[in-house]
Chain A
């Protein structure tokens, strides 16, 4: 296998460093929020992973279109990489959202538009991989994956707006607090620093993981082709 390009090795290290700094900013530098206490700090990672994952899913939909037009399988490998990394990030988003909800509203889950749409979206992309798993022909697998990533990518935002418009949220709250408020708090200057830095950090980490995953896909492709050659 080709050696890792130096840029990627550097990016690996930079990602880890940024993660460290971001953690420090989030845990130590940023002030403690008055109403919720320490748990509010998960917010920085929650939004960091959320935004990058959403962009990742959007990117995947773009790759769908490019692949369906160009028929070049490399766009399929890019799509798989984007969706896989986004899936992992979004899982973190959902779990952190749930962890935030518990002390804030005394419930592990709220059926508010964002969290609900997140769960639906996660299921869509899990279904994406289940679809791919059931297909052996690489070309068909790529085509079907592209179609479903498009369908899913279009449907998720519509789901979000639909829930926002129609769902009268009955607060599934036993303790105090209004589910609609969604734990709103005003961000002070230091919080904003931690917030934006986390966004930046997770973008870098996403690019790093994305690139690594693409290389993995390329390696997989190489192995598949060699397998075919050797068994013929």
Chain B
């Protein structure tokens, strides 16, 4: 076993390693947060559209039955 008198100073590499680890993890969390935010926006937009479409349907149903009763009445 070699007897080393000097331990090399590799702290630069160590810092790089830890920095990269934290940065990569942070980027991934940020990516998830952004995707989540976008999806939530999409969701609220879609829910609005869905509600609007639902209300249109109710309106259409209100108009329709009048014609049916008319023909029934004629009979």
Q: Contacts A223-B43, A227-B46 given; indicate if A95 touches B36 (C-beta within 8 A).
A: no
Shortest Cβ distance from residue A231 to the other chain B in the assembled complex, whole angstroms? 9
B46 contact set on A, CB distance < 8 A: 223, 226-227, 230
Q: Is chain B's interface secondary structure helix, strand, loop, or mixed overall?
A: helix
List, in ascending order, chain A residues with CB within 8 A of B17's CB: 39, 41-42, 45-46, 95-96, 99-100
State the A residues within 8 Å of B (CB): 1, 23, 27, 32-42, 45-46, 49, 85, 88, 91-92, 95-96, 99-100, 102-103, 205, 209, 212-213, 216, 219-220, 222-223, 226-227, 229-230
In the complex, are the beta carbons of B36 and A219 less than 8 A apart?
yes
Name the CB-closest residue of B to A97: B17
Task: Please tell me if the beta carbons of B53 and A230 are within 8 angstroms of each other in the complex.
Answer: yes
Report the separation of the CA atoms of residues A165 and B24 in the bound assembly, to the nearest whole angstrom. Answer: 33
Asked if residues B10 and A222 are in contact (CB atoms below 8 Å), the reply is no
Task: Count A-B pairs with CB separation below 8 Å.
Answer: 100
A-B contact pairs, 7 of them (CB 8 A): A34-B4, A35-B4, A92-B20, A205-B25, A216-B32, A230-B46, A230-B50
Q: Which B residues have a C-beta under 8 Å from some C-beta of A? A: 4, 7-11, 13-14, 16-18, 20-21, 24-25, 28-29, 32, 35-36, 39-40, 42-43, 46-47, 49-50, 53
